[in-house]
C-alpha cells in the first residue's frame, strides 16, 4: 500500500518522522491521531497539536510527568521558526490565564520547555519570549486594576499565573546553581501595589491569593537582600482594613492573611540534620504545591490520596473567580475557598482579634 503523502504547513512546521503517531501522548483522545491512522494525508497545524495537548493536561494533570518529554521532543522537530515559537508561547499563555486552575500546570510546562526547547532565534528563546509576553500585560497593570469587571478578572488571572511562574520557573546560572527570576520578584511587588492601590473587593481577594501562594518565598528572598518589602505590604493591608470601603468578609480575609504571616506562613521548622526531603520526613515537603478547594470548601493538595478525583471535580466548576455582591456574597453558587468558612456574623475570636488589631494600629499611628 502506498505510503500517505505528508503535507506540512510551510510557515509553522518542518517535516516530522514517519512515526508521527507515536508523538501523541499515551491515552490522548485526539481526533488527529485517529485521522492519521485512517490514512489522512494532512498533519494538524502546530496550533491544533499544542492546544490538544494543553487540553489533555487540563483534564489529566497527572500525565505531565510521563508525557512532557515526548511533547518537548515533538516540538523540537516542529518549532523551527520565530513565528512558530511565538505562537507556542501565546497558546500556553492563553491557556494558563483563561482556564481555571491551569496556571500551576502552565508554569511547570513553561519551566520544562525553557530548558528543553532547542530553538533560540534572534528574537529570543522560549523563556525570553514568555517574559516579553508577560511584560505586555504587566505594563497595563494600573489601568487593568481599575478597569471594568471583565478587565480586572483577566488581570487577576495574569497575576496568579505570574506568581506560579515565579515559584516554578528555574534559572540556571553559569556555575550550575538554580535560582528564581528576580525580574518576576520585582514584578509581583509592583502588581501587589496596583491591587492595593485600587482596593475593590476582587482586587483584594486576588492580592490575598497571591500572597498565600508566594508570600513565604517572597519574604525569604527580600530578607536575604535586607529588604523590608513584606513589612510594607503588611502595613498597606492594615491601612486597607482600617480605611478602605471594602466588604467585611474581605477585611476578615486580610486579617487572616496577617495572622498567617505572623505564624511564619504556617511553616514548621525542619530539623537541622540533612536528609533527602520526602513527604514522610519533611513537614514542608508540599509547601510549594498549590492548594485547591472542593465545592464544599475543603482544601486539598497533591499530597491528598484522592487528589485526582477532587481535581477533576474542581475542573468542572466553571468560573475562576466567583461573582460577588458588594457585601462579598457569592452569586455563582460555587463556594469560594477563602470565604466558605466565614459565617454571617463574626465569631468571637475573630471579633476580638479585629478589635485588638484596630486598637494596636491606632496606637501606632499616634506615635
Mean pLDDT by 10 residues, the chain (367 residues): 36 32 39 35 76 94 95 93 95 94 95 94 92 96 96 97 96 85 95 96 96 96 95 94 89 94 85 52 55 62 64 57 41 43 53 65 60
| pLDDT, position 43 | 55
Q: Helix, strand, or coil here: 213?
A: helix
The answer to whether the CB of 153 falls within 8 A of the CB of 145 is no
Query: Whole-angstrom Cα distance, residue 138 to residue 61?
Result: 28
Query: Whole-angstrom Cα distance, residue 170 to residue 160?
Result: 17
Q: How far is CA 9 from the centre of its chain?
A: 33
| pLDDT, position 276 | 56
| pLDDT, position 243 | 84
Q: What distances in angstroms separate CA 51 from CA 16, 30, 32, one per listed residue?
A: 18, 11, 12
Query: Whole-angstrom Cα distance, residue 95 to residue 102?
Result: 7
> SS3 sequence, 216-258?
HHHHHHHHHCCCCHHHHHHHHHHHHHHHCCCCHHHHHHHHHHH
| pLDDT, position 324 | 40
Task: Map out the domains of the chain with their CATH numbers.
Answer: 44-263 (1.25.40.180), 285-313 (no CATH)
| pLDDT, position 173 | 79
The answer to whether the CB of 255 falls within 8 A of the CB of 262 is no
pTM for the full predicted model: 0.67
| pLDDT, position 226 | 95
| pLDDT, position 67 | 95
Amino acid at each position: 500500500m502506498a505510503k500517505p503523502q505528508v503535507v506540512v504547513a510551510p510557515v509553522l512546521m518542518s517535516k516530522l518522522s514517519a512515526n508521527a503517531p507515536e508523538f501523541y501522548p499515551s491515552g490522548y483522545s485526539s481526533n488527529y491521531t485517529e485521522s492519521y491512522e485512517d490514512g489522512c494525508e494532512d498533519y494538524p497545524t502546530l496550533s491544533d497539536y499544542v492546544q490538544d495537548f494543553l487540553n489533555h493536561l487540563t483534564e489529566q494533570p497527572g500525565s505531565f510527568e510521563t508525557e512532557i518529554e515526548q511533547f518537548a521532543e515533538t516540538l523540537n522537530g516542529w518549532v523551527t521558526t520565530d513565528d512558530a515559537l511565538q505562537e507556542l508561547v501565546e497558546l500556553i499563555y492563553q491557556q494558563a490565564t483563561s482556564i481555571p486552575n491551569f496556571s500551576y500546570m502552565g508554569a511547570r510546562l513553561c519551566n520544562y520547555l525553557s530548558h528543553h526547547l532547542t530553538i533560540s532565534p534572534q528574537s529570543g528563546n522560549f523563556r525570553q519570549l514568555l517574559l516579553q509576553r508577560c511584560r505586555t500585560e504587566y505594563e497595563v497593570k494600573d489601568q487593568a486594576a481599575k478597569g471594568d469587571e471583565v478587565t480586572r478578572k483577566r488581570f487577576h488571572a495574569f497575576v496568579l499565573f505570574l506568581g506560579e511562574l515565579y515559584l516554578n520557573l528555574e534559572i540556571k546560572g553559569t556555575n550550575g546553581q538554580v535560582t528564581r527570576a528576580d525580574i518576576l520578584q520585582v514584578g509581583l511587588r509592583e502588581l501587589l501595589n496596583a491591587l492595593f492601590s485600587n482596593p475593590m473587593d476582587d482586587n483584594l481577594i486576588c492580592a490575598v491569593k497571591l500572597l498565600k501562594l508566594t508570600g513565604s518565598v517572597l519574604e525569604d528572598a527580600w530578607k536575604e537582600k535586607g529588604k523590608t518589602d513584606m513589612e510594607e505590604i503588611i502595613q498597606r493591608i492594615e491601612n486597607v482594613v482600617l480605611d478602605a470601603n471594602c466588604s467585611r468578609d474581605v477585611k476578615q480575609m486580610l486579617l487572616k492573611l496577617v495572622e498567617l504571616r505572623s505564624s511564619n506562613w504556617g511553616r514548621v521548622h525542619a530539623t537541622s540534620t540533612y536528609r533527602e526531603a520526602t513527604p514522610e520526613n519533611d513537614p514542608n515537603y508540599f509547601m510549594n504545591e498549590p492548594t485547591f478547594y472542593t465545592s464544599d470548601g475543603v482544601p486539598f493538595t497533591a499530597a491528598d490520596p484522592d487528589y485526582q478525583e477532587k481535581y477533576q471535580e474542581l475542573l468542572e466548576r466553571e468560573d475562576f473567580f466567583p461573582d460577588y455582591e458588594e457585601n462579598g456574597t457569592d452569586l455563582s453558587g460555587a463556594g469560594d475557598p477563602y470565604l466558605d468558612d466565614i459565617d454571617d456574623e463574626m465569631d468571637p475570636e475573630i471579633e476580638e482579634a479585629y478589635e485588638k488589631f484596630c486598637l494596636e494600629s491606632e496606637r501606632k499611628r499616634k506615635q
